[in-house]
Amino acid sequence: IIIKTLLEHKEQELSIASLSTLTHKDYKTTHTIVKRLEKNKLLTLQQFGKSYKVVLHYFAHPLIFEAEYLRRKEILQNKNLRVMQDYFRKELKTALYVLLLFGSYTTKTSTKHSDIDLFFIAPDSDTEFEKKVVRIAHLIPLPLHVNVFTEREFVAMKTSKENTVGSEVIKKNIILYGTEAYYELLQ
């Protein structure tokens, strides 16, 4: 729950006390868990004032994958999102891609008129991937806004100082498919 909360609040500076409040766990329990995660090098504590900022390290690790799985499971309780994700998985006929949900659905501010913002990351070698995604998106009777980039383009966005759709997606997303590949791209 601590890692899941840190993933959901990437842009906020969270202390152990604020984590305790957000997770509805007492301070002592939260502190013990945070110290254990720090010992396992999943996060660091950076002093600010009289407290410590908890900073999650984003890398491929089973506990991070588990937290991402819980986030995906929670968002896929929305039937439209679940059907859409299943349809893409079935029709793309490849396992070599990453699918991220971003926008109002990840911030829990979506309305019935909101579009579903999707960000696909495809292997550099798959030149037909974008055409397949666009064709499939047109078959799904949902308001989809699809972005497709290659791994190379995503890495360039990640390292760019400019404010791109990629930098926004990195800050606030839910991984619908390809968790391990996504974390490999972040490293």
* Chain segment 1-45, per-residue pLDDT in tens: 899 999 999 888 999 999 999 999 999 999 999 999 999 999 999
User: How far, in whole angstroms, is CA 15 from its chain's centroid?
Assistant: 21
Q: 144 pLDDT band (50/70/90 cuts)?
A: very high
pLDDT tens digits for range 86-139: 999 999 978 789 999 999 999 888 888 899 999 999 998 778 899 999 999 999
Specify the pLDDT at position 1: 85
What residue ranges define each of the domains in the chain, with the CATH number in brackets?
A: 2-56 (1.10.10.10), 62-186 (3.30.460.10)
**Under a CB-based contact definition with an 8 Å cutoff, are residues 21 and 145 in contact?**
no
Residue located via tokens 């972040």: 186
Strands across the sheet with 51-56, in order?
A: 14-15, 51-56, 43-48
User: DSSP string spanning the chain?
Assistant: -HHHHHHHTTTS-EEHHHHHHHHT--HHHHHHHHHHHHHTTSEEEEEETTEEEEEE--S--HHHHHHHHHHHHHHTTSHHHHHHHHHHHHHH--S--EEEEEGGGTTT---TT--EEEEEEE-TT-TTHHHHHHHHHHHS-S-EEEEEEEHHHHHHHHH-SS--HHHHHHHS-EEEE-HHHHHHHH-
Backbone torsions φ then ψ of 38, nearest 5 degrees: -65, -40
Backbone torsions φ then ψ of 11, nearest 5 degrees: -85, -10
Least confident of 52-56, 81-85, 121-125: 121-125
**Under a CB-based contact definition with an 8 Å cutoff, are residues 5 and 33 in contact?**
no
User: How far, in whole angstroms, is CA 137 from its chain's centroid?
Assistant: 21
Specify the pLDDT at position 49: 85
pTM here is: 0.88
